[in-house]
């Protein structure tokens, strides 16, 4: 590997290693401050392992135990809470493991919307823009982050109109109905391409469940664990031709920094 | 005002497989070569954190930046073509090594039938078998003439495969230099079922190296680790043969290659008879250069090659209305869509493990290896089971009818993640008079030059092929011992949104008739003898196979042709 020599010449930074090890697992009860403080607290991970990592949940966490990555880069608070609730319906918690909310998917989506991807930076966005055939793909100047924010706002508008409550406050069955209406383009909110938004949001949710934890979702690699995906392994030469299914504890790109 | 540089003997435009092979061969023979690559430099050190599905597979890290250049597309010439604004159907390579960096490494020589498809079809079924509008032609070369050049590519890349020539394919004069990939339990199920049906499965020949190998150029590489990250990724081990770890180091070591990255060629300069050089933009500064040369070699992806010819007004543009001209003709693709899933309720497979070229396949229903008398299509497909490493963002296997989200979606996709095997077909694609490439009248690239326009759709030929071949995939899948199978046997319109294949072909095809082909069988241009247009742009149709073997063999033959041309200019045929 390219950095092998370089990294082996550097002394190990124990605190950094600890941080990497526990990142994203120990934010219970932490008040980050500002308008999103309560909200982040509401997103506290309840996984048993986390309590072991941070036994004293009543006090502010030590800096090294906090996941500073869990803060918002793009969404406002309503959009974040709506994204969290909607992604949870798309990928709900069940017997097999956590849902999108615990996996940090809404943070993943927020971060992606703040990135080059949210701004369609590597896509052809030059005019003119014409109405397209379905076989020609997306043909609008409206960018991904604009569409996702508008769609999340619209989920609330539609929920208020139909149920007199915001989307996050609806019962799960009601949330499913609202999402289904968006998916089927049955919402009829003027100026909102509902099904296009839904398709993007669905895709982002799946990415947030299964992308490397580096990006803010797939917390603790639990998305991978649920489907026995081993993540970033350097070699399967010894296992590839074996008859039995091989379960492996997954590794992330962060682990790779140490593997070299 | 462009800066005019001193004249050089040979300039190559595009440093992927083709540019790399030709640069390697010519520099070894002592010739000086300038290599122009519009993207950046690359090395295996770039892939330290390559096992990142989001970055490489979903966000297309290695691909061409579409904000700078894309293609426009329409299903028929009656429609307005619109730009491919984001990636979908196919992925355009970029940078040193080009698409040769992000391929899977599946290696198949095209069939003897492919090179003589028109005459062989007429010979067996009569001329009426070829439907109106289908533009199949002989390639102007026969398999036996190209055979030694396949061998050269195999020795260079370290292709691993079974030791003897397999049934239904062209004879090999020399065995693959290394043995086949390891055989997984699922590959065995596929092969056993196929054999019981009387078919002839074999382990897919692989450019993912199967053992430590030193090639004839002295390049030594380590074997594949089956890590499951090939297609859309670069190989951090250098185990997957790509130009950066095979041919380019040889050219660079010779001291004869002047490699210039970030050099975007915008025009082939010519006097109407011969090329005089190329014009390119050094993209970091915007400075324009003219590089005079005795020989110009176009070795970009087919869209780049064809676009450059059209932008340069070199060769006669194809006119589908009159069926005249040559540049842009015979665009073809790959007809996928025939497949059968087999699920196992009581068994899990290691589907995350794999390699790009890991799998088994058969050609009993490829080419003209079966009787088409009563069938409404020509050619066929390679039927295969591959185990390329099923990564979780892109693969969500579930039974048909499973919701796309929600509790049931989660439950089913988790349950079937490692319990689903797919027998799939890689179908051939025939050219049609109304499928072609030309310049878009409206949309421009970042430099203000017209984009290439693609007019293409699936035909009844393709739908019939998929339906028939899908039945064969089901036969095999049914015998693999699973709990249940599900067949996929229909395709509709061609849609540029879902990913299908990066096996686009044609547009500057080879042949023996200067009226209907752009290049001869050395890929030398009929209309400008010192221009060579190389790569899959030369394919007169696309076979039921991955194209790289044939691209590579043709490139080796072109290198030989160029050496001859340097000694004695003129037409090589």
Q: What is the predicted pLDDT for the residue at A15? A: 37
Residue-by-residue DSSP string for B358-384: EEEEE-TTSTTSS--TT-SS-S-EEEE
Which residues in chain A are contacts of B386 at CB distance < 8 A? none
Is residue A7's pLDDT more than 60?
Answer: no
Q: How many CB pairs under 8 A join A and B?
A: 181
- Domain segments of chain A as ranges: 1-68, 72-227
Contact at CB, B407 and A94, closer than 8 angstroms: yes
> What residue in A sits closest to B238 (Cα-Cα)?
A1
Q: Summarize the confidence of residues B82-100 as an average pLDDT.
A: 97
Contact at CB, A229 and B347, closer than 8 angstroms: no
Which residues in chain A are contacts of B348 at CB distance < 8 A? 228, 245
The CA distance from A164 to the nearest CA of chain B, in Å, is 24
Is residue A38's pLDDT more than 70?
Answer: no
Give ∠ CA A206-A212-A216 in degrees, rounded to 5.
80
Please state, in angstroms and rounded to a whole number, the distance separating the CA atoms of residues B345 and B327.
53
The CA distance from A141 to the nearest CA of chain B, in Å, is 10
Q: What average pLDDT is seen over chain A?
A: 82
Instruction: Let me know: does B493 contact B456? Beta carbons within 8 Å.
Output: no
Contact at CB, B227 and A1, closer than 8 angstroms: no
Please state, in angstroms and rounded to a whole number, the distance separating the CA atoms of residues A33 and A232.
35
Q: Which of B52, B79, B85 to mutate to test the interface with A (most CBs of A within 10 A)?
A: B85
The CA distance from A40 to the nearest CA of chain B, in Å, is 24
Which pLDDT band, with edges at 50, 70 and 90, does A189 fall under?
confident
Question: What architecture is domain B3-567?
Answer: 3-Layer(bba) Sandwich (3.50)
b (16+ CB within 10 A) / e for A131-141 = ebbebbbbeee
Please state, in angstroms and rounded to a whole number, the distance separating the CA atoms of residues A31 and A37.
5
Contact at CB, A210 and B393, closer than 8 angstroms: yes
What are the pLDDT digits (tens) for B45-80?
Answer: 999 999 999 999 999 999 999 999 999 999 999 999
Please state, in angstroms and rounded to a whole number, the distance separating the CA atoms of residues B92 and B502.
8
SS3 B60: coil
Residue B341 backbone phi and psi in degrees, to 5:
-90, 140
Which residues in chain A are contacts of B192 at CB distance < 8 A? none
Q: What is the predicted pLDDT for the residue at A34? A: 31
Which residues in chain A are contacts of B492 at CB distance < 8 A? none
Which residues in chain B are contacts of A120 at CB distance < 8 A? 67, 85-86
Lowest mean pLDDT among A63-72, A164-173, B476-485, B525-534: A63-72
B167 contacts: CB under 8 Å, gap ≥ 6? B200, B202, B363, B364
Is residue B185's pLDDT more than 50?
Answer: yes
Instruction: Let me know: does B178 contact B149? Beta carbons within 8 Å.
Output: no
* DSSP 8-state class, residue A54: -
Q: Between A92, A117, A240, which is nearest B410 by CB?
A: A92
Which residues in chain A are contacts of B46 at CB distance < 8 A? 2
Chain-centroid distance of CA B403 in Å reads 34
The CA distance from A205 to the nearest CA of chain B, in Å, is 10
Please list the alpha-helical segments (H only) found in A118-217. Answer: 144-163, 172-183, 194-210
Contact at CB, A89 and B353, closer than 8 angstroms: no
Which residues in chain B are contacts of A139 at CB distance < 8 A? 82-83, 85
Q: Summarize the confidence of residues A76-89 as an average pLDDT.
A: 98
- What stretch of H or E contains A87? helix A77-90
What are the pLDDT digits (tens) for B316-373?
Answer: 999 999 999 999 999 999 999 999 999 999 999 999 999 999 999 999 999 999 999 9
- What stretch of H or E contains B486? strand B484-488
Q: What is the predicted pLDDT for the residue at B242? A: 97
Please state, in angstroms and rounded to a whole number, the distance separating the CA atoms of residues A175 and B493.
34
Q: What is the predicted pLDDT for the residue at A62? A: 62
Q: Which of A94, A115, A122, A201 to mutate to test the interface with B (most CBs of B within 10 A)?
A: A122
B107 contacts: CB under 8 Å, gap ≥ 6? B154, B157, B159, B161, B204, B205, B206, B207, B357, B546, B548, B549
Q: Between A125, A230, A233, which is nearest B85 by CB?
A: A125
Q: Between A124, A132, A206, which is nearest B393 by CB?
A: A206
Is residue A159's pLDDT more than 60?
Answer: yes
What are the pLDDT digits (tens) for A200-238?
Answer: 999 999 999 999 999 999 999 999 999 999 999 999 999
* DSSP 8-state class, residue B275: E
Instruction: Let me know: does B357 contact B107? Beta carbons within 8 Å.
Output: yes
Give Dmax over CA atoms of chain A in angstroms. Answer: 62
Is residue A36's pLDDT more than 60?
Answer: no
Q: What is the predicted pLDDT for the residue at B428? A: 98
Give catalytic residue positions of B.
Answer: 503
Contact at CB, B396 and A202, closer than 8 angstroms: no
Residue showing tokens 């005079």: B292
Q: Between A130, A202, A253, which is nearest B51 by CB?
A: A253
Lowest mean pLDDT among A62-71, B406-415, B455-464: A62-71
The CA distance from A247 to the nearest CA of chain B, in Å, is 9
Q: What is the predicted pLDDT for the residue at A75? A: 98
Q: Between B82, B182, B347, which is nearest A240 by CB?
A: B182
Contact at CB, B225 and A236, closer than 8 angstroms: yes
Contact at CB, B444 and A202, closer than 8 angstroms: no
> What residue in B sits closest to A199 (Cα-Cα)?
B404
Contact at CB, B404 and A202, closer than 8 angstroms: yes
Q: Summarize the confidence of residues A59-74 as an average pLDDT.
A: 79
Is residue B191's pLDDT more than 80?
Answer: yes
> What residue in B sits closest to A91 (Cα-Cα)?
B406
What are the pLDDT digits (tens) for B242-257?
Answer: 999 999 999 999 999 9
Q: Between A99, A122, A241, which is nearest B184 by CB?
A: A241
Please state, in angstroms and rounded to a whole number, the distance separating the CA atoms of residues B98 and A218.
32
């Amino acid at each position: 590997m390219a950095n092998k020599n370089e990294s082996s010449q550097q002394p190990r930074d124990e605190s950094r290693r600890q941080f990497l090890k526990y990142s994203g697992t120990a934010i219970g009860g932490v008040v980050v401050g500002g308008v999103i403080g309560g909200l982040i607290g509401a997103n506290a991970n309840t996984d048993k392992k986390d309590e072991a990592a941070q036994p004293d949940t009543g006090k502010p966490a030590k800096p090294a135990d906090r996941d500073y990555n869990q803060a918002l880069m793009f969404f406002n608070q309503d959009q974040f809470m709506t994204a969290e609730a909607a992604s949870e319906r798309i990928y709900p918690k069940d017997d097999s493991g956590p849902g999108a909310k615990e996996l940090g998917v809404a943070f993943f989506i927020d971060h992606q919307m703040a990135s080059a991807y949210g701004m369609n930076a590597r896509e052809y966005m030059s005019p003119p823009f014409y109405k397209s055939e379905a076989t020609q793909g997306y043909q609008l100047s409206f960018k991904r982050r604009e569409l996702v924010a508008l769609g999340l706002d619209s989920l609330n508008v539609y929920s208020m109109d139909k149920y007199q409550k915001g989307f996050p406050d609806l019962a799960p069955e009601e949330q499913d109905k609202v999402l289904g209406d968006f998916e089927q383009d049955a919402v009829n909110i003027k100026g909102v391409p509902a099904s296009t938004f839904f398709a993007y949001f669905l895709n982002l949710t799946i990415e947030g469940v299964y992308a490397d934890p580096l990006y803010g979702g797939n917390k603790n690699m639990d998305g991978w664990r649920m489907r026995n995906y081993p993540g970033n392994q350097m070699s399967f030469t010894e296992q590839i031709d074996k008859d039995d299914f091989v379960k492996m504890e997954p590794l992330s790109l962060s682990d790779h920094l140490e593997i070299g | 005002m462009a800066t005019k540089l001193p004249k050089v003997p040979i300039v190559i435009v595009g440093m992927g497989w083709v540019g790399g092979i030709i640069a390697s061969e010519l520099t070894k023979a002592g010739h000086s070569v300038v290599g122009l690559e519009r993207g950046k430099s690359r090395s295996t050190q770039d892939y330290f954190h390559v096992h990142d599905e989001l970055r490489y597979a979903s966000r297309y890290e290695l691909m061409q930046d579409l904000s700078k250049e894309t293609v426009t597309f329409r299903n028929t010439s009656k429609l307005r073509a619109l730009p491919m604004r984001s990636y979908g159907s196919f992925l355009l390579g970029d940078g040193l090594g080009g698409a040769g960096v992000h391929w899977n490494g599946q290696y198949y020589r095209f069939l003897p039938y492919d090179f003589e498809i028109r005459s062989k079809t007429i010979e067996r079924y009569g001329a009426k078998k070829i439907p109106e509008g289908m533009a199949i032609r002989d390639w102007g070369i026969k398999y036996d003439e190209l055979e030694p050049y396949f061998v050269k590519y195999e020795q260079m890349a370290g292709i691993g495969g079974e030791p003897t020539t397999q049934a239904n394919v062209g004879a090999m004069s020399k065995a693959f230099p290394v043995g086949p990939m390891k055989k997984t339990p699922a590959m065995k199920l596929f092969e056993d079922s196929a054999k019981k049906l009387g078919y002839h499965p074999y382990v897919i020949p692989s450019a993912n190296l199967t053992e430590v190998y030193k090639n004839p150029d002295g390049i030594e590489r380590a074997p594949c680790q089956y890590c499951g990250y090939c297609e859309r990724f670069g190989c951090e081990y250098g185990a997957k043969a790509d130009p950066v770890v095979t041919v380019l180091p040889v050219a660079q070591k010779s001291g004869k290659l002047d490699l210039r990255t970030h050099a975007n060629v915008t025009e082939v300069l010519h006097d109407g008879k011969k090329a005089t050089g190329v014009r390119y933009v050094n993209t970091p500064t915007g400075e324009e250069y003219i590089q005079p040369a005795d020989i110009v070699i176009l070795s970009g992806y087919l869209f780049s090659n064809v676009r450059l010819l059209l932008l340069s007004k070199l060769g006669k543009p194809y006119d589908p209305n009159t069926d005249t001209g040559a540049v842009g003709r015979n665009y073809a693709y790959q007809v996928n869509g025939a497949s059968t899933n087999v699920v196992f309720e009581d068994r899990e497979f290691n589907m995350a493990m794999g390699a790009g070229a890991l799998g088994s396949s058969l050609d009993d229903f490829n080419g003209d290896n079966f009787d088409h008398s009563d069938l409404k299509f020509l050619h066929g497909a390679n039927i295969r089971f591959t185990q390329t490493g099923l990564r979780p963002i892109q693969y969500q296997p579930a039974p048909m009818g499973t919701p796309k989200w929600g509790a049931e979606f989660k439950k089913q996709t988790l349950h079937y993640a490692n319990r689903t095997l797919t027998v799939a077909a890689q179908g051939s694609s025939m050219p049609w008079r109304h499928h072609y490439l030309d310049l878009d009248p409206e949309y421009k690239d970042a430099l203000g030059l017209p984009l290439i326009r693609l007019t293409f759709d699936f035909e009844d030929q393709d739908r019939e092929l998929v339906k028939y071949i899908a039945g064969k995939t089901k036969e095999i899948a049914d015998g693999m011992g699973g709990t249940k199978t599900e067949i996929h046997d229909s395709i509709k319109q061609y849609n540029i949104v879902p990913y299908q294949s990066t096996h686009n072909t044609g547009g500057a095809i080879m042949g023996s008739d200067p009226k209907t082909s752009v290049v001869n069988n050395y890929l030398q241009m009929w209309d400008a003898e010192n221009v060579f247009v190389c790569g899959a742009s030369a394919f007169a149709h696309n076979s039921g196979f991955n194209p790289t073997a044939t691209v590579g063999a043709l490139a080796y033959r072109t290198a030989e042709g160029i050496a001859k041309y340097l000694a004695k200019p003129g037409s090589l045929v």
